[in-house]
Amino acid sequence: MSKLLIFTAPSGAGKTTIVRHLLSKYDDLAFSVSATTRARRPHEKDGVDYYFLSQEDFRRRIQEGAFVEWEEVYDNQYYGTLKSEVERIWSLGKHIIFDIEVKGATNIKSFYGDSALAVFIKPPSPEILFERLRNRKTESEASLRKRIDRARYELSCENNFDVVLVNDILEDALINAERIVEEFLGPSVAKDLQQQS
């Protein structure tokens, strides 16, 4: 039976970097591409980074029950996980890895129960997180303020998850993330790695 690994964190805590590392290391994992109504950034590809949907299309899919979970994260900015995406990955016989915001992670965990492991990635301190967000320089001052306010709230949710992984020194965080994956998915994942080396 395929399992689900849910990596969540406030924006800027490093979850995408950790998830990308795990995907490059384990062939048995496949990435769940989220749907969003936010604007596509220049380096992003539709269907790879996100499924970029119009607000109208997103709301229609909500009405149709097409999402495992969804949320209006900011005003008129929706994110969600399509049921079709989970089914697509399971049809490949792979375990699913999510890079997802905090409320969505909570919803997926409650939906799939023990088949899912929810990992909260915690920055070394709130101040370091806020500094990382400022240094991105990808958004307006108002948008940045919203992200920082949301990050403050999300940091208070760490105890809602199965595992807390501190991302202070990235190399250590990556090694700890590998250990978490191998413990949850079992010896076959580690065995696949030995065959590759």
For residue 160, the domain's CATH number is 3.40.50.300
Return the pLDDT at 108: 94
Return the pLDDT at 1: 73
Look-up of token digits 């769940």 = 32
Q: Does residue 149 lie within any of the structural domains?
A: yes
Q: Does residue 114 lie within any of the structural domains?
A: yes
Q: Supply angle C-alpha 157, 47, 137, rounded to 5.
A: 55
Return the pLDDT at 195: 58
Tens digit of each residue's pLDDT (9 = 90 or more) over 67-114: 999 999 888 899 999 999 999 999 999 999 999 989 999 999 999 999
Q: Does residue 127 lie within any of the structural domains?
A: yes
Q: Give the burial class of 39: count Cβ atoms within 10 A of its Cβ; 0-12 exposed, 13-18 middle, 19 or more buried.
A: exposed
Q: Does residue 173 lie within any of the structural domains?
A: yes
Q: How many CA atoms lie within 13 A of 152 on its CB side?
A: 7
Task: Report whether 100 contacts 33 (CB < 8 A).
Answer: no
**Which residue, 178, 153, 150, is CA-closest to 165?**
178
Distance CA(70)–CA(143), nearest Å, equals 20
Q: Does residue 77 lie within any of the structural domains?
A: no
Distance CA(168)–CA(10), nearest Å, equals 14
Q: Does residue 42 lie within any of the structural domains?
A: no
**Which residue, 10, 28, 20, 5, is CA-closest to 191?**
28
**Which residues are registered as beta bridge partners of 72?**
78
> Based on the structure, what is the number of domains in the chain?
1
> Could you tell me if residue 69 is left (phi over 0), alpha (psi between -120 and 50 degrees) or otherwise beta?
beta
Q: What percent of the chain has pLDDT over 70?
A: 96
Return the pLDDT at 189: 74
Residue ranges, the chain, pLDDT below 70: 190-197
Q: Does residue 74 lie within any of the structural domains?
A: no
- What is the DSSP secondary structure assignment for residue 82, as one 8-state letter? E
Q: In what order do the strands lie in the sheet with 67-74?
A: 51-52, 35-36, 77-82, 67-74
Residue ranges making up the domain that contains 127: 4-35+84-190
Return the pLDDT at 194: 56
Structure tokens at 105: 């992670």
Return the pLDDT at 196: 57
Distance CA(34)–CA(58), nearest Å, equals 12
Structure tokens at 87: 């089914």
**Which residues are registered as beta bridge partners of 80?**
35, 70
Return the pLDDT at 75: 83
Q: Does residue 195 lie within any of the structural domains?
A: no
